[in-house]
Chain A
Amino acid sequence: MIGTSLCKWAISYFAVAIVWLLLAEVLVVAGFCFPNHDIGGPDTLVIVHMVSIGWLSTVLCGALFQFVPVLAARPLYAERWTLPALALLTLGLTILLAGFLTLGGHFNGSPRLLPVGASLLIAGFALVVANLGMTLWSARPLPGPARFVAAGLGCICVTAAFGGMFSLVLSGTAIGAQWPDLLVSGVPIHAIAGLGGWLTFTAMGVSYRLLAMFMLAPDSDARLGRLAWLAGIAALAVGAVGGVLALWRATGVKLALLLAGAAALLSLIAYGRDMLGLYRARKRRALELNTRMSLVALASLVAVAILGAVFLATGSLQSHVGALAFLVAFGWLTGLVLANLYKIVPFLTWLETYGPVMGRVPTPRVQDLVDERRALKWFMLFFAGSWAATLMLLVDEAPGFRVAVAVVTLATLGLGEELIRARRLADVSEPLRLPTGAVVPHLLVSRN
């Protein structure tokens, strides 16, 4: 069996992603957009894409470059593609945002900005998908968690394809003019494939292995994740078919989306049951902060499922879609990602710094690189802020929403500083900090 090495640029992906997250949060606090007003408006699109591409997709790509080789027990197909992909994603997103700002009248740019930005983003995601896809391809047949990732990679292709077509429509090109209704009916597919398939489904798959690993729970049960996988795939397939039917203005679309929603709910319930099972079967009684915070994030996902079902039953889903999307993006995905970064960054730093001298001199433990008590305070602020912001959206209270997001921003800054301190080994006590042969890692790049 081959070993897994450190992905040199994973830390750079994390850093770029956190910068995008902070930028988006600051813009919201500054009053740039309020999701309840005009959810499809250009200003909302700026924030949505900063969060979904700049923050969540970038951080997920970096984590997958490090983690897919572990899932697949194969080396990454092309390490040298990772930095160009990051450059393409960052540049593409910047240009795309400039395009949205032009659309919103904040900026006098060319209408070509949207398709140019979208093309660069598609190129960046293509590099990511090809790299991870080839890595997974060499490991067929795939173990359970890796299948979730493979499905997620399929979904990012769908998301990017629709995004590319939207950019042609929104920029007023002649090609785009052939599909006048694309925006109305294509946006749900774009959003379901992006938020549901790529971000949530991939995060679910990865968390099967990560949570089992961190809780010391046996994850060899062949049934683990099976129902979540089958129902999730059914939801994505039915959702896509329903979306395509909508494009053709066929009847029965609502039924397809309802079925997809039911399958998605079943998938989430099965996933929650599996996570609860891992939690109960764990050998490590006292859980580390990252695991506890992942479970808190999971509670947000449960809340999304319950609220979504209630709103659907009462027919008020349309007016609360902004609040639900915020809870998915922050309470669930951002919370889960920050919780796991809080483990991944210290672990990679520890491996990089102390791996070469391990066994030869005393080394600190991974836990010695962090101060959980200090970080817990930031995590509590983060989740309290996210839930308060969701509540403010539900009651349509814009100033309250901004105050809540300001709290989230403060917590993000605090957690960002914790990650920098881990990278700098700032919390490691002195005699152990730098044994002979160990060097402090670079802040943004790993030596591998």
Chain B
Amino acid sequence: MTQFIDVDVRPILRAGGEPFSIIMAALARLEPGEGLRLYAPFKPVPLFDVMASKGFAHREAELEGGEWEIRFLPDDGSSDAAEPAPAVASGGDWPEPVVHLDNRDLDPPEPMVRILAAMERLAPGQPLFALLSREPVFLFLELTKRGHQWRGGFTPQNDTYQLTVRVCA
């Protein structure tokens, strides 16, 4: 019987946050053989690719009100009920960030300027990790224009925004 660690990302998404970093943090805490049980307000299809690339198959179940319970199981060949993982479209697992920035005490928009300047010095595919005091909504616009990918979300204490940006490969 697989043991599950529960992660409920519904409050984070309702508050407008990105739960990705929290899911990844929970994943890092899993013991061998343990699974992750995720509660989400919608079916988190993009996450399936990411989790598949990390060796997790999933089983999904719709709850009341359009919410979903997803069980991620270590895909060691023993799990028979999981759907076959779809082909990894993009993203997959990102390498370790090569630049770490702590921009929490900078005056806006200095965090944005620093991140964009640091991104210019990275090679394609290299990620950057930054800590911010706020969600950088105006930065996302520039990242999109430049074709960079990003993942981010508030820490559970809700006082620091963790952002990982990767130069388009």
Interface size class for chain A?
Answer: 20 to 34
Known: A139-B16, A220-B158. A3 touches B141 (CB 8 A): yes
B144 proximal to A (CB < 8 A): yes
**A370 CB to nearest chain B CB (Å):** 14
B159 proximal to A (CB < 8 A): yes
Known: A356-B145, A359-B116. A70 touches B105 (CB 8 A): no
A70–B18 Cα distance when bound, in Å, is 15
Residues of A with C-beta under 8 A to B29: none
> Closest residue of chain A to B158, judged by CB?
A220
Residues of B with C-beta under 8 A to A347: 109
Residues of A with C-beta under 8 A to B117: 358-359
Residues of A with C-beta under 8 A to B140: 1-4
B35 proximal to A (CB < 8 A): no
Residues of B with C-beta under 8 A to A3: 137-144
A351 proximal to B (CB < 8 A): yes
A284–B119 Cα distance when bound, in Å, is 26
**Per-residue interface assignment for chain B, residues 132 to 169, with 1 indicating a CB less than 8 Å from any chain A CB and 0 otherwise:** 01110111111111000000100001110000000000
Judging by beta carbons under 8 Å apart, are B107 and A216 in contact?
yes
> Closest residue of chain A to B121, judged by CB?
A359
Residues of A with C-beta under 8 A to B133: 216, 218
A255 proximal to B (CB < 8 A): no
Residues of A with C-beta under 8 A to B138: 3-4, 351, 355
A73 proximal to B (CB < 8 A): yes
B91 proximal to A (CB < 8 A): no
**Per-residue interface assignment for chain A, residues 336 to 378, with 1 indicating a CB less than 8 Å from any chain B CB and 0 otherwise:** 0000000000010011000110111001011000000000000
A30 proximal to B (CB < 8 A): no
Residues of A with C-beta under 8 A to B142: 3, 355-356, 358
**A53 CB to nearest chain B CB (Å):** 30
Residues of B with C-beta under 8 A to A351: 109, 138
B81 proximal to A (CB < 8 A): no
**Per-residue interface assignment for chain B, residues 100 to 113, with 1 indicating a CB less than 8 Å from any chain A CB and 0 otherwise:** 00000101111011
Residues of A with C-beta under 8 A to B64: none
Interface size class for chain B?
Answer: 20 to 34
Residues of A with C-beta under 8 A to B141: 3-5, 355
Residues of A with C-beta under 8 A to B61: none
A341–B138 Cα distance when bound, in Å, is 18
Residues of A with C-beta under 8 A to B89: none
Residues of A with C-beta under 8 A to B16: 1, 72-73, 139, 143
Judging by beta carbons under 8 Å apart, are A220 and B139 in contact?
no
**A140 CB to nearest chain B CB (Å):** 8
A213 proximal to B (CB < 8 A): yes
A284–B105 Cα distance when bound, in Å, is 8
Judging by beta carbons under 8 Å apart, are A213 and B108 in contact?
yes
A437–B120 Cα distance when bound, in Å, is 16
Known: A358-B113, A358-B116. A143 touches B15 (CB 8 A): yes
**Per-residue interface assignment for chain A, residues 1 to 30, with 1 indicating a CB less than 8 Å from any chain B CB and 0 otherwise:** 111110000000000000000000000000
A118–B145 Cα distance when bound, in Å, is 42
A360–B142 Cα distance when bound, in Å, is 12
Residues of A with C-beta under 8 A to B139: 3
A350–B138 Cα distance when bound, in Å, is 12
The 10 closest A-B pairs by CB, nearest first: A3-B140, A359-B116, A3-B141, A359-B117, A73-B16, A4-B137, A220-B158, A358-B116, A359-B120, A1-B18
Q: Given contacts A3-B141, A73-B135, list 17 more A-B pairs with CB under 8 A.
A: A1-B18, A4-B140, A69-B137, A141-B14, A143-B16, A214-B108, A218-B159, A220-B158, A283-B105, A347-B109, A355-B138, A358-B113, A358-B117, A358-B142, A359-B115, A359-B120, A360-B120
Ordered by A's residue number, 22 sampled pairs between the chains whose C-beta atoms are within 8 Å are A3-B142, A3-B143, A3-B144, A4-B138, A4-B140, A4-B141, A5-B141, A69-B137, A72-B16, A73-B137, A143-B15, A143-B16, A213-B108, A216-B108, A218-B133, A283-B105, A347-B109, A351-B109, A355-B138, A356-B142, A358-B112, A365-B110
- Residues of chain B at the chain A interface (Cβ within 8 Å): 14-18, 105, 107-110, 112-113, 115-120, 133-135, 137-145, 152, 157-159
